[in-house]
Structure 1
Amino acid sequence: MKKNIEEFLYGVCYYPEHWEDEIIEDDLKRIKEAGLNVIRMGEFAWSKYEVEEGVFNFDFLISAVELASKYGLKVILGTPTATPPAWLTKKYPESLAVTYDRKVMHHGSRQHVNHTSKKLRELSKRIVRKMAEEFKDYDNVIGWQIDNELNCGLELSYADSDAEAFRKWLKNKYGSLKALNKAWGNVFWSLEFTDWEQVSVPKPTPTKENPSLLLDYRRFYSDMTIEFSNLQTEILREVTPDKFITHNGLFNVIDYDKYIKEGLDFLSYDSYPHFGERNKVGDGKKWSRNLSRVRGYDNKFIVMEQASGPGGQVDYLLPTPEPGQLRLWSYQSIAHGAFGILHFRWRTCPYGAEELWHGILDYDNQDNRRLKEVKQLAAELNKFGDIFLEAETQADVAILSDFDNKMNDQIETYIKSDENEIYQGLRAENISVDIISDIELIDNYQLVFCPRMMIIDDSMLAKLKAFAKASGTLVFTARSGIKDKNNHYYRQEFPGKIRELAGISIRDFTVIPEKEYEQGIKFDQELLKPEQFVEVIEPDTAQSIANYTNRYYNKQTAISENSYGAGKVIYYGSFFNKDGVRKVIKKLKDDLNHHKFGEIPEEVEVVKLLSGDKIYYLLLNYSDQAVRIDLDSEYINLLTEKKVKKVIEKYEVVLIKMDQ
C-alpha cells in the first residue's frame, strides 16, 4: 500500500485560521463523531505563519493539530506556497506572474506568482522548512500536500525570470544557437538567433508563433513547475522522512508522469462532478474521464477535495448535490482508484472569493442532509474500507495521451482531439478505460486508442510495434504519426512514422466545412459520421473495412485494418464521435476479456475492482430516476445486504462480490 497509509482515509478539508478558537474544538469533535478519520489543513495560511518577513508563528496550527490528535484524527498538512503574503509580493515584485499579453498579476487572489523567481523559491523553501521542523514529531501528521492545484489559476507565466530560466533550459537542451535554430526551423520568416539574449519567452506577435517554440515552452514550464515543487519535496524528505508527500492535480502544462517519479509518493486529485451537472442531471458520470486520467498516472490516489455542496465563485454557482449524489460521487472516486476521500470542506466560509463554495455544513453550522449522507458513507467505509484500500480498478482498454501530444493539441487547434468522445463512447458500453501518458504501460492492456497522435518518434514507434506484434490492438485516428519531437512534419508520405505499422498511405485529406457534416462512412451495415477531418486511405498491407459514402472521396477507404504480428492496427481516417466509437467497438469486443452482466443502461456505470484474489463490481446509477437493468444472475448488494436484479434506484450504488 501507499506510504504510511494503513486504513481508508475519509475526512474533510478544515481551515482553523477561518474560525474563532472557541468553536474549533467543537468542530473537530463533530468531525470525529461523524465517523471521519482525517483532516487536511494549512495550505492557504502563509500570512498567518509569517506575518512579516522572518517572523514565524505556528501557534494556531499547532493547537489544531493537537486537538485533532485528542479526537483521534489524522492530519495532512499543505505547504502554503499557493498564497504568498502581501509583504512578499510588495517587497519582491519580481516574484509576480506575468500573462502572455504582459499583464502583471497582483496580490488579491492566489497563485499569482511565477515558479522561476529566485526570491520566491528562497522564501518558499524557508517556510516549508520551518513548517517541517515544527510538525516533524507529531505522530498524527501523516503526510504533506505540496502547494495547492499547481497551474490552476494561471497555467503559464512570461515574467523576466521565466525568460532567463528558459534561456538556461534551452542551452542545456540544445547546447548551441545553431542547434536551437535548426530544431525550431528558425530559417522560416527569418527567425534565426545570433545571440542568446535574443531568445525569449513567447510574446504577442502580428500573426501566429512558431509551434516548435510553443511546444518547447510548455515542456520548459512543466519542468519549472516540477522543479519548484521538488525544492519543497527535498526539504520534507530530509526533515520528515516518515510522512508521505502528494499533490492535488490535475491541471495543465505539467508532465505528471515525470512529476510523480521525481517528487511524489503518489498523486491526489480534486473531484467536482457537478461541473458536469451544469449541462444535464446525470452528466456527473462524465467526470469519470478525469478520474481515469488520474488512475493512468497513479493507480491508487487520494481525492483531496471531494464535492460536498454547491460550488462557485462570484461569477458562477454549480448545482447543489441532490440527496444521494454526495455519496454517489464519492463512490465514483472510489471506483476509479481512490484510497482516501476528503470533502471540501467541513463548513462553508462566510467571506472571501469562495464564499459560494459550500462545504458539508452551511454558514449556520447546523446539521443537515449532507452531514447525514456523510455519516452513512462513513459507516459503509468503516465496514468495507479495507476492500477499497487495496482494490485496483481493472481496465482492458487504454487511451494513450502523452504529454507532448496533449500540449500540441493546445497549440494546433485547427482540429481537436477526439479523446473525450472515445472515452465516453467506451464507457457508454461499460468498457473500463485508463487514460495513460506513459507509453511503457501499454502492455497492461489488450486494446489501445491513440487519438490524433501527431508526434511519434522512433522510440515510441518501437513500443507500438512491439505491442501489436504481441497480440495487442491499436486504433489510430486521423493526423497520427506525422510529426517529430521538434514539432516538424516528417518529409514522407502520411501517416508518416506509422505508415508500415498501419499498412496504409494517405492519398488525400481535407477539413470538413463547419456546417457540412452530411458525409457518411459505411461500416458493417452501419452509417458512421466523420467529424472535423477526412483522410482518404489507400491500403497497402491493410484491408479496407469501411468506405466514405459521398463527396469526391465517395467509395474510398475510410477505415482500415492491418494484421501486424499477432495483433492488428485499425486506422480511422477521421475523428470519432461517441456513436461512432460505440459502433466500432462492437467489432473489437472479441479482443477484450469483457464481462457483461446483461443489459445495463447508459446511465449506470460499471467498474471492476480486484482486491487481493477477490473480484468486485461497483454499479453506479447517475440518473435522477430509477432504472431497469437485466442482470445475468441475482446478486446481493453488499452495501445494503439486499438482492438486486431488475432495478437500481436513483443515485444508488451497488457493490457486488463475484464468485470465482
Structure 2
Amino acid sequence: MTSQLSHRRPTNLDFFWYGVPYYPEHWSEEDRRDDPQRMAAAGINVVRMAEFAWTRMEPSQGVFDFSLFDQTIDRLAEHGIRTILCTPTATPPRWLTARHPEILRMDNLGRVMSHGSRQHASHMSEIYRTHSVRITRAMAEHYRDHPAVIAWQTDNEFHCHFNEDHNASTQVAFRRWLAERYDQDIRKLNAAWGNEFWSLTYDNFEQVDTPKSHAPGRYNPTHRRDYTQFLSDAVTLFQQEQIQVLRAVNPRWRIFHNGTFSNIDYRGQFTRDLDFLGYDCYPMFHKQGLSRPWIQANKLDKTRGYSGHFIVPEQQSGGGGQSGDGVDESYLHDSPEPGEMRQMAYRSIARGADGLLFFRWRSCRFGVEQYWQGLLDHDNRGRRRYDEASKLGAELKQLGPELLGTTVKIDAAVAGPDFLVHESHRSCTLGLPAPDTVGEWVHRELTQRGVSIGWVHPTDDLAGVKLYIVPHWAWFDPAYVAPLEAWVKAGGTLVIGAWTATRDANNHISDQTPPTCLADLCGVEVDDYSRINNIAERPRQLQFEGMVEPMAANHWAEALKLRAGTKVLATWQSGTFAGKPAATIRPVGKGQVIYIGTWLSESLLATVSPLLMQWSGLSKTWPDSPQGVEVVVREASGRCLWFFFNNTQAPVTFASLPKGERLLDFAADPSTLPAYGVGLIKA
C-alpha cells in the first residue's frame, strides 16, 4: 500500500509471478488430479482462485466449507505453486439475492438487475457491504497462516459490465456524498452546478437524484461529473472495507485489483489502497489485426501511467468468447497465431508487468465462457497453447530475476490518464474527440515512428522525457503549471493542445482569457474560436512554417494573439481566421512551449510529429530497427534489457543491434527474428 503513485513505481515482488487463474470448483477429482504436476512442468509458480466461488465456500448463510480450496492449495504447494485468493463479491449467492432483492443494482432506465449473471449487486447497499466484509473476513481468518497463500485480488473487474447504479441505496448514498462534498450547504451545490440555468435550483439534498435517462434534455454537466466521481468513491469504499479486513488479518499479504474499467479513478484512493494494479490483457478483443500490437502497448503504458509497474492477472492465451442470449451479442475472438501468444505475453512484460497469468488453465465445458480457450483444451489435452506457455515458463525462470527492479524507459510522454479531465470532457463533449482518444492517437503516431512513449500525469516524474504533449485538457489544475515550467526550463518541449485550461474546478467555463493559467507559460491568448463541423463545405486550412503545402484542420480552430517573446509556428490560410496565428512557440529557459490552436487529429499528427521530434531532439529507440519492429527497454542501475518484437508475419533481419548477451529468439539467430518473434539483448 502506498500514497505515492508514479509510472516508475516498482511492484517490489520477491519473485516474478507466472501462472494461471484456476477454477477447481469447475472440475471433477479426475480432472484435477494431475493439474499440479502439469502446471509445475510448464514453469507455473502461482495460481489465482475463488473470485466466483462464493456459493461453493458458503452454500448457505453462515455455513462455510473451504475443503475444496484447502485440498487444492495444499496439492499445489507440494509442487512449489503459491496461491492468490480473491474476494468473491462479483457473484453473490442466490440465497443472498433472494433474501435481499433490494441489493440488486438498477440501470439508468430504472430496470432492476436480475440474478443469473455477475456484477448485479450494488456497491452502495449497506446490506451487501456487510456481507462483503463477512465473506472476506471468513476467508481471511481461515487462510490467515497458510504459507502458500501470498496475495489477494479484490473482487473481479469492477465496472466491467455495468458501471452505474440508480437503486434506492444509491440515491441515499449519493445524497449523503453530496452533502459531505458541499459542507451540508445546498447553496454551495447550487452554485457549483450552476443551477440558476434552467431553474434547476434545489432546496435540500433530499431533492437530488442520480442522473438517469429520464430527462427530455441533457443533464447539467457538473451534476453528471459529480455522479461519476461518486461512483468511483463508492467502489473505492467497497474495496477499502475488504482491504482493511485483509491487512488486519495478515499485513504481509500483497493486495491488488484487476482492471481497468470506466468510472473509477485509478490515480486516486482506489489505487493508493492497493500494493499495485492488475490489468487484464486481451488484445484479441480488437479486430484490427495489424493494430493489435499498438493497442496492447497503449493499454499497458496507460496502466503503468496510473501507478507504476503492475501484474497481468489475465493474459490472453487463446480465442475468448461469451455466449449471447438475444440481448447481448455472442462473440468469439480470433485465436492467436503460432508464436503470437508468447509474443503478446512478452509485450506485457516488456511494458511493465512484474507478473503474468494466462487465462485460463483449462477451457471450461459449461457456462457463458465455455468457448473461452485456456492452456488445456476441453479434452484436457495440452497442445500449442500449453507448449508456448511451457516455453515461456522455462525462459522466465532465467529472466524473471533480471526483470524485477527495472523500469520502462521512455523519451516522450502524453499527459494522462486523469479521471477528472476525462469526466469533465465526457460531461460536455460538444462532439469533440476526448483527451484520452487524442492521447491514444499521439501514442500510436510516435510508437509507429519508433519512439519510446508513455503516459505520465503532470504531477509525476518527467525526468528523461524530452517531449510532453497535453491533449486538450479542458480542466487543467493551476497547480500543474509550476512543475511543468521547471521541467521546460531544464530543456523539455511542452505541447499544449487547443481548448486546454478553459474550465474551472466546477466544470464551468473560466472568466479568464484562454488558456487561463497557462497563458504566461505559452505566451499566447485565444482571441476567437470556432467548431469545425463540415470540412468539405467550410474547410479551415493552416500552414506550418517551412512546409510547402497547407493542411486541413479538424474539429476546432482558434485565432491566437501572441505575447512578447512568442513566435508564430503556423498561420490560418482560409476561413474567418485567415492570416491569424494558428500555432506558436515560445522559448522558456533551455526548453520551449508550443501551443497548437486546433485539434491534434490523426492527420495533423502524421504531418507535425516529425517536426516535434526534430524540435525536441527525439529519435527512434533503436535507429536500425526495421519496419514492423517494436523496441522496448527496461532498465535499472547496472543493467539494460532491450526487447525487440517482430510484429509482422515474415522474418526480419537487423543491420545492427545493441551490444550485449542475445537471448530468447536472438539466441537461435543473433540478427534475425521469425514472424511474431521476440528477441532480448541484456546489456
TM bucket (normalised to shorter chain) is: over 0.9
Segment of structure 1 superposing worse, 177-186 or 388-397: 388-397
Structure 1 position 637 matched with structure 2 position 662: yes
2:225 pairs, out of 199, 215, 220, with 215
Instruction: Return closer, same or farther for 1:200/1:427 CA change in 2, 3 Å cut-off.
Output: same
Match of 1:179 in 2: 188
> 1: distance between equivalents of 2:268 and 2:162?
20
Q: Deviations over 1:497-520 (max 9, x none)?
A: 322221112222222225539644
> 1: distance between equivalents of 2:643 and 2:31?
39
Q: Read off the aligned partner of 2:322 and give its amino acid letter.
A: Q
2:559 pairs, out of 528, 531, 536, with 536
Matches within 5 A, 1:490-509: 490-509=510-529
Counterpart of 1:607 in 2: which secondary structure?
strand
Structure 1 position 416 matched with structure 2 position 433: yes
Q: Is the 8 A contact 2:12 2:405 kept in 1?
A: no
Q: Deviations over 1:386-421 (max 9, x none)?
A: 112222101122222221011123222310121111
Shift of residue 147 of structure 1?
0.5
Instruction: Return closer, same or farther for 1:466/1:186 CA change in 2, 3 Å cut-off.
Output: farther
Q: Deviations over 1:218-240 (max 9, x none)?
A: 11111111110010000000002
Match of 2:5 in 1: none
Structure 1 position 460 matched with structure 2 position 480: yes
TM-score by length of 2: 0.92
Q: Is the 8 A contact 2:646 2:676 kept in 1?
A: yes
Matches within 5 A, 1:231-630: 231-259=241-269, 262-276=272-286, 278-314=287-323, 315-401=330-416, 402-413=418-429, 414-417=431-434, 418-437=438-457, 439-442=459-462, 445-514=465-534, 516=536, 519-523=540-544, 524-525=546-547, 528-541=551-564, 542-589=566-613, 591-592=616-617, 594=619, 596-630=621-655
Shift of residue 115 of structure 1?
0.8
Matches within 5 A, 1:109-258: 109-175=117-183, 176-203=185-212, 204-258=214-268
> 2: distance between equivalents of 1:305 and 1:518?
46
Segment of structure 1 superposing worse, 118-127 or 314-323: 314-323
Identity between Structure 1 and Structure 2 (%): 35
> 2: distance between equivalents of 1:269 and 1:155?
17
Counterpart of 1:399 in 2: which secondary structure?
strand
Q: Deviations over 1:268-302 (max 9, x none)?
A: 110111123x1234523321111001111232211
Unmatched 5+ stretches in structure 2: 1-8, 324-329
> 2: distance between equivalents of 1:525 and 1:196?
57
Match of 2:4 in 1: none
Shift of residue 645 of structure 1?
7.3
Match of 1:6 in 2: 14
Q: Is the 8 A contact 1:260 1:266 kept in 2?
A: no
Question: C-alpha root-mean-square deviation of aligned residues, in Å?
Answer: 2.2
> 2: distance between equivalents of 1:646 and 1:529?
42
Q: Deviations over 1:150-207 (max 9, x none)?
A: 1111111112111111111111111101111101101111111112211121122110
Q: Is the 8 A contact 1:483 1:496 kept in 2?
A: no
Segment of structure 1 superposing worse, 285-294 or 524-533: 524-533
Instruction: Return closer, same or farther for 1:436/1:3 CA change in 2, 3 Å cut-off.
Output: closer
Segment of structure 1 superposing worse, 533-542 or 649-658: 533-542
Instruction: Return closer, same or farther for 1:602/1:557 CA change in 2, 3 Å cut-off.
Output: farther
Q: Read off the aligned partner of 2:50 and give its amino acid letter.
A: G
Instruction: Return closer, same or farther for 1:508/1:627 CA change in 2, 3 Å cut-off.
Output: farther
> 2: distance between equivalents of 1:555 and 1:484?
31
Q: Read off the aligned partner of 2:347 and give its amino acid letter.
A: Q
Counterpart of 2:289 in 1: which secondary structure?
coil
> 1: distance between equivalents of 2:553 and 2:217?
31
Q: Read off the aligned partner of 1:126 and give its amino acid letter.
A: R
Unmatched 5+ stretches in structure 1: none
TM-score by length of 1: 0.95
Q: Deviations over 1:50-77 (max 9, x none)?
A: 1112211111111111111111101111
Q: Read off the aligned partner of 2:440 and give its amino acid letter.
A: N
Shift of residue 632 of structure 1?
6.0
> 2: distance between equivalents of 1:630 and 1:207?
61
> 1: distance between equivalents of 2:551 and 2:387?
47
Instruction: Return closer, same or farther for 1:579/1:388 CA change in 2, 3 Å cut-off.
Output: farther
> 2: distance between equivalents of 1:166 and 1:565?
47
Q: Deviations over 1:310-353 (max 9, x none)?
A: 01112111110000111000010011111110000011111111
> 1: distance between equivalents of 2:649 and 2:534?
35
> 1: distance between equivalents of 2:110 and 2:241?
27
Instruction: Return closer, same or farther for 1:23/1:596 CA change in 2, 3 Å cut-off.
Output: closer
Counterpart of 1:638 in 2: which secondary structure?
strand
